């Protein structure tokens, strides 16, 4: 096996908190092979690299393809030659060419799911024997149940899958006996979310626009992970945003589990997201939050553009957050006022209502690059 792979697998030998970077020749040797190789372009002095390190150590033992890292501070020209201008960036190479760039969270399970996902067909043709396993093959799976002659629904499903195949997994099954066993009246699209234990259905999938809307709506987790490419998608719901910032993946996971039951209860009327502050450093102060005091969070009432920072020192349990949220909802807490701004609020209280589309450009301090984004 290539030495480059040995370097990556060095983490298995007890090096759980130290990068095992490839040299330039080793990287080039790996990429010259016909196999799939996932490469992390990192800078040891960068905070994102530091936070990725622990998750990368968890990824390598479970990976089905070689995972390799290279120090861009020591190999600037090498990273630049692969289109890497900033770190941390993870790219999947096939036969020496970039096939996909990772845009998800710095979370081991998400990285592994992505690496498997982008190597599948855009739409997998399924049989009865693999259907149950396929439902659990990713964090979000869409399966189209179609009759053999359903050409229009299949074409629409394939078109939408082409837009979102790097985020979600898509499959189609046309076996008549399986449709009967599943109790499905084709054509029908189902969304499976194993982590949340949720299933959503959509009939009449021949309408591309309606199907795409279903994909965006149904894929939203009980507690989402805020990323540059999905921020606008969450805002477009129009419901109040609940932002929770935590410094590490371990802490974000802990809070996500603690708040899951509460978030499920408010799934339709709130949009709750967990946030890596390294992804949105300018958003914290614009929500009236102290970047040095994590975990922290705020509610952004989109209908009136009002912000309610969560009190410092308050715990992150469902009961504490729900109690505070009730005070906000009933008008017992005034919205945050930015420094230098004088205002009064004479209409506090009452149900927080939905509003029309809200653009990220309307949130001060949020600078997002969606197209062409290649940062982890």
The pLDDT tens digits for 241-263 are: 999 999 999 999 999 999 999 99
pLDDT beyond 90 at 167: yes
Q: What is the CATH number of the domain that holds 192?
A: 3.40.30.10
| 21-45 pLDDT per residue, tens | 999 999 999 998 778 999 999 998 8
How many percent of the chain have pLDDT more than 90? 74
Q: Please say which residue of 117, 147, 166 terminates a domain.
A: 117
Q: Are residues 240 and 269 in the same domain?
A: yes
Q: Are residues 196 and 231 in the same domain?
A: no
**Local confidence band at 10 (pLDDT 50, 70, 90 cut-offs):** very low
Q: Is there a domain that residue 282 lies in?
A: yes
Mean pLDDT (whole number) for 104-111: 94
Out of 65-79, 276-290, 315-329, 337-351, which region has the weakest mean confidence (pLDDT)? 337-351
Q: Is there a domain that residue 236 lies in?
A: yes
Q: Is there a domain that residue 353 lies in?
A: yes
Q: Are residues 38 and 138 in the same domain?
A: no
Q: Are residues 269 and 310 in the same domain?
A: yes
Q: Is there a domain that residue 161 lies in?
A: yes
Q: Please say which residue of 163, 195, 218 terminates a domain.
A: 218
pLDDT for 40? 95
Contact 310, 322 (CB under 8 A): no
Q: Is there a domain that residue 368 lies in?
A: no
Q: Are residues 36 and 100 in the same domain?
A: yes
Q: Is there a domain that residue 67 lies in?
A: yes
**Local confidence band at 14 (pLDDT 50, 70, 90 cut-offs):** very low
Cis amide leading into 152 (omega within 30): no
Q: Work out how many domains the chain is built from and give that number.
A: 3
Q: Are residues 232 and 335 in the same domain?
A: yes
Q: Is there a domain that residue 375 lies in?
A: no
* CB proximity list for 341: less than 8 A, separation 6 or greater: none
pLDDT for 161? 98
pLDDT for 346? 52
Q: Are residues 7 and 106 in the same domain?
A: yes
Q: Are residues 201 and 236 in the same domain?
A: no
pLDDT for 34? 75
Q: Please say which residue of 218, 250, 283 terminates a domain.
A: 218
pLDDT for 205? 76
Structure tokens at 178: 């399986």
Mean pLDDT (whole number) for 323-348: 78
| Residue 245 Cα to chain centre, angstroms | 15
Q: Are residues 283 and 343 in the same domain?
A: yes
d(CA 109, CA 297): 24
Domain interval for residue 146: 124-218
**Phi and psi torsions of 24, nearest 5°:** -60, -45
Q: How many residues does the chain have?
A: 376
pLDDT for 342? 55
**Local confidence band at 18 (pLDDT 50, 70, 90 cut-offs):** low
Q: Is there a domain that residue 204 lies in?
A: yes
Q: Are residues 229 and 269 in the same domain?
A: yes
Q: Are residues 240 and 342 in the same domain?
A: yes
Q: Where are the alpha helices (DSSP H) in 63-145?
A: 76-81, 108-117, 131-135
Q: Is 204 left (phi over 0), alpha (psi -120 to 50) or beta?
A: left
Mean of per-residue pLDDT scores for the chain: 86
Q: Are residues 255 and 334 in the same domain?
A: yes
pLDDT beyond 90 at 348: no
If DSSP codes are grouped into helix, strand and coil, which group holds residue 360?
helix
pLDDT beyond 80 at 344: no
d(CA 361, CA 370): 12
């Amino acid at each position: 096996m290539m030495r480059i792979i040995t370097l990556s697998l060095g983490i298995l030998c007890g090096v759980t908190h130290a990068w095992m970077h490839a040299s330039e020749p080793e990287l080039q040797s790996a990429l010259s092979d016909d196999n799939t190789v996932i490469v992390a372009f990192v800078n040891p002095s960068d905070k994102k690299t530091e936070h990725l390190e622990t998750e990368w150590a968890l990824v390598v033992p479970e990976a089905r393809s070689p995972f390799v890292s290279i120090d861009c501070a020591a190999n600037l020209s090498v990273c630049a030659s692969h289109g890497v201008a900033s770190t941390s960036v993870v790219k999947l190479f096939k036969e020496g060419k970039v096939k996909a760039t990772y845009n998800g969270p710095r979370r081991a399970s998400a990285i592994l799911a992505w690496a498997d996902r982008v190597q599948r067909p855009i739409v997998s043709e399924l049989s009865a024997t693999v259907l149950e396993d396929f439902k659990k093959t990713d964090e979000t799976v869409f399966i189209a149940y179609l009759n053999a002659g359903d050409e229009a629904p299949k074409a629409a499903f394939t078109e939408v899958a082409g837009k979102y195949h790097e985020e979600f997994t898509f499959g189609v099954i046309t076996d008549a006996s399986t449709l009967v066993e599943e109790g499905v009246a084709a054509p029908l699209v189902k969304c499976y979310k194993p982590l949340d234990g949720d299933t959503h259905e959509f009939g009449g999938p021949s309408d591309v626009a309606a199907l795409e809307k279903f994909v965006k709506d149904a894929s939203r987790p009980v507690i989402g992970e805020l990323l540059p490419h999905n921020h606008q998608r969450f805002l477009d719901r129009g419901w109040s945003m609940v932002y929770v910032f935590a410094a590490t993946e371990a802490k974000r996971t802990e809070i996500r589990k603690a708040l899951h039951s509460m978030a499920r209860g408010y799934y339709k009327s709130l949009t709750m997201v967990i946030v890596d502050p390294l992804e949105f450093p300018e958003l914290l102060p614009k929500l009236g939050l102290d970047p040095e005091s994590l975990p922290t969070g705020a509610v952004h009432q989109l209908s009136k553009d009002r912000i309610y920072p969560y009190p410092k020192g308050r715990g992150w349990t469902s009961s504490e957050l729900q109690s505070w949220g009730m005070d906000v909802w009933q008008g017992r807490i005034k919205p945050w006022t930015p420094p230098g701004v004088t205002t009064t609020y004479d209409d506090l209280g009452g149900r927080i209502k939905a509003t029309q589309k809200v653009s990220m450009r309307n949130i001060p301090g949020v600078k997002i690059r969606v197209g062409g984004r290649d940062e982890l």
